[in-house]
Structure 1
Amino acid sequence: MKKSAIAFITLPLLLLNISCEKGKAADAVNGTEKSDTVKTDTTEKTTTLTIDTVDFNKRMVALSNNDTTGRWPVKAPYPLPGALLPYNRIIAYYGNLYSTRMGILGELPRKEMLAKLQGEVAKWQAADSTVKAIPALHYIAVTAQGAPGKNNMHRMRMPFKQIDTIISWAKPINALVFLDVQVGHSTVKAEVEQLEQYLALPNVHLGIDPEFSMKNGERPGSKIGHFNAEDINDAIDILANIVRKNKLTPKVLVIHRFTQGMVKNYKAIKTVPEVQIVMDMDGFGSKILKKSTYLSYIYREPVQFTGFKLFYKNDNKKDWKMYSPEELVKFTPKPIYIQYQ
């Protein structure tokens, strides 16, 4: 996309000491895993039951909105039993507790925020009764920084007590928790590994943001960064190992994207039974521009599942109006992860 086509992009820093806005262009599986032991005269075999593949395939076709190009649904290994997708649509609130301007999570008081989130979940459930809508809190656990910091990494890791707070907030409404990472000059592997104790919890999942991955030493925010397939595969490997080690159901990995260059060599991104990948169409703008971005970078470069981000303020500026659930469920493919900022 030419620069003029995304002229409305701003490149803010998610700094803790600067007020800013992040502006960009824009039913669980019924079966459970069981093992049956089959004995013969000489051997003993263990057979692991998997998901209902007929039901899974039917749901994936429905999610693809009957796409005829062959892109959707994406061919990938079947997930482990207990997978969240495509059985649920995740409705997430995004933000950081240190700032009221990074997102709705952190902007509103806890009780008001949770009530508003539950209201959005109800709207999505009404818009598509075939998929269960469930809430999530998507917390920025590592923020990119303009200053290099003590480790010269241009990133700041949030205190674990803040993550504990978010997890405690999620419990009363049975919400998922996503921990989001902006690596700055660090790496996906280094930042995700330090969150392993939380990712080992059944309801905690991961988000990674290519925008602030500055591979050539630039200051975060001075240009749009990127991840390559190797970066994303590092996150997938860590999550898959956590799932296997702790005998968990699959983890969801959300990858933000609003330009073509933010994700390179997408065809080399691996798909495994332990991890479900969501390419999330990030960014604000007019409906026409956001749909165009979704078609250009999400629909045309399929990985596994898709997401869509909505901005309460920036999608409602000028003559713009935020997409409704009823409008978004008509997209091809239907987004299965929705994030509000």
Structure 2
Amino acid sequence: MPGSPALGPLDKDLVTKAARLEKLSRAYAAGRTPLPVMELITVVAKASPGKDRMYRGRLPDAKIQEYLTVARKHRMLLLLDIQPGRAKILPEVKRLERWLKEPDVGLAFDPEWAVGPNQVPGRVFGRTTGAELDSIASYLSGLVQAHELPEKVFVFHQLSTRIVTGEQALKKHPGVVTIKSVDGIGAREDKVKTWGKVTANLPAGVHAGFKLFSTEDARHGPLMTPAQVLALRPRPEFVVYE
């Protein structure tokens, strides 16, 4: 997020970071052609209510355009990430429709920051359901078909099994590639355990993703290497560095 190094390395110096990302992505090729991705937190959860008491802030369109311009220059995808706070997720997704109609823009959802009407982000873990995720995937599928777009990426982040309930309600939708990104923090052995638990019952058609925390994970030992990440089963199709 711009100006927030704690929320990932893409807070500034985008051109330099894009070149670094291109180099890193090649370490994950494993016989395939890697596709680098910039993930931009477009709606961020906050500890204060704000004027509408939704406990979230929104990035201005001009800043989204700045990131999209750099992503396009380097032939990358741009994912717009939403941490909705108390707001409902689907209206927040639809608010970004002008961007989601672009051929190289996808969506990410961070449900641990999706809290109830009397809860505060950061004090409790938020949650979602398979049915809610399915409604988002269905909406994206409609955009793809209506505007004849390439496949649209939809990522949902998950750090523990309790974040998502009724996951099997999430179905495959034409034109949408759905990815569960496992966001467990800690030493390698702990991350691998979390990986096993959270990917144990992937719905049909949902791909697996894996997140590495450059600062938090490193406090517990060496950061996992690309070879170690690719050795996970199921093999991650999407790898995030934060």
Equivalent position of 2:41 in the other structure? 140
Equivalent position of 1:307 in the other structure? 209
Bigger relative contact order (CA 8 A; separation at least 6): 1
Equivalent position of 2:107 in the other structure? 206
1:111 aligned partner, one-letter code: V
Equivalent position of 2:229 in the other structure? 328
1:112 counterpart (11, 16, 19): 16
Q: Deviations over 1:61-103 (max 9, x none)?
A: xxxxxxxxxxxxxxxxxxxxxxxxxxxxxxxxxxx01312210
User: CA separation in 2, counterparts of 1:102 and 1:316?
Assistant: 16
**Alpha-carbon shift at residue 109 of structure 1 (Å):** 1.5
Does 2:112 match 1:222? no
**Alpha-carbon shift at residue 311 of structure 1 (Å):** 1.4
**Alpha-carbon shift at residue 217 of structure 1 (Å):** 1.8
* Identical-pair percentage: 27
Q: Deviations over 1:241-287 (max 9, x none)?
A: 11011011221110100111101100111211221110101132000
User: CA separation in 2, counterparts of 1:180 and 1:218?
Assistant: 21
Q: 2:153 touches 2:176 (CA, 8 Å); kept in 1?
A: yes
1:317 counterpart (173, 194, 219): 219
**Alpha-carbon shift at residue 231 of structure 1 (Å):** 1.7
Does 2:70 match 1:166? no
User: CA separation in 2, counterparts of 1:100 and 1:216?
Assistant: 29
User: CA separation in 1, counterparts of 2:37 and 2:235?
Assistant: 18
Secondary structure of 2:72 counterpart: helix
Does 2:71 match 1:157? no
Does 2:1 match 1:99? no
Q: 2:213 touches 2:241 (CA, 8 Å); kept in 1?
A: yes
1:1-341 map, 5 Å: 96-106=1-11, 108-125=12-29, 128-129=30-31, 131-298=32-199, 300-303=200-203, 304-318=206-220, 320-341=221-242
User: CA separation in 1, counterparts of 2:33 and 2:181?
Assistant: 19
Could you state the TM-score of these two structures normalised by the residue count of structure 2?
Answer: 0.96
Q: 2:184 touches 2:195 (CA, 8 Å); kept in 1?
A: no
User: CA separation in 2, counterparts of 1:271 and 1:215?
Assistant: 27
Equivalent position of 1:53 in the other structure? none
RMSD between aligned residues: 1.1
- Structure 1 stretches (4+) deviating beyond 4 angstroms? none
1:302 aligned partner, one-letter code: L
Which consecutive residues of structure 2, in runs of 5 or more, have no partner in the other structure? none
Secondary structure of 1:321 counterpart: coil
Could you state the TM-score of these two structures normalised by the residue count of structure 1?
Answer: 0.69
Question: Highest CA radius of gyration, 1 or 2?
Answer: 1
**Alpha-carbon shift at residue 111 of structure 1 (Å):** 2.7
Equivalent position of 1:22 in the other structure? none
Q: 2:129 touches 2:164 (CA, 8 Å); kept in 1?
A: yes
2:185 aligned partner, one-letter code: F
User: How many corresponding residue pairs?
Assistant: 240
Equivalent position of 1:85 in the other structure? none
User: CA separation in 1, counterparts of 2:93 and 2:139?
Assistant: 8
**Alpha-carbon shift at residue 328 of structure 1 (Å):** 1.5
**Alpha-carbon shift at residue 216 of structure 1 (Å):** 4.4
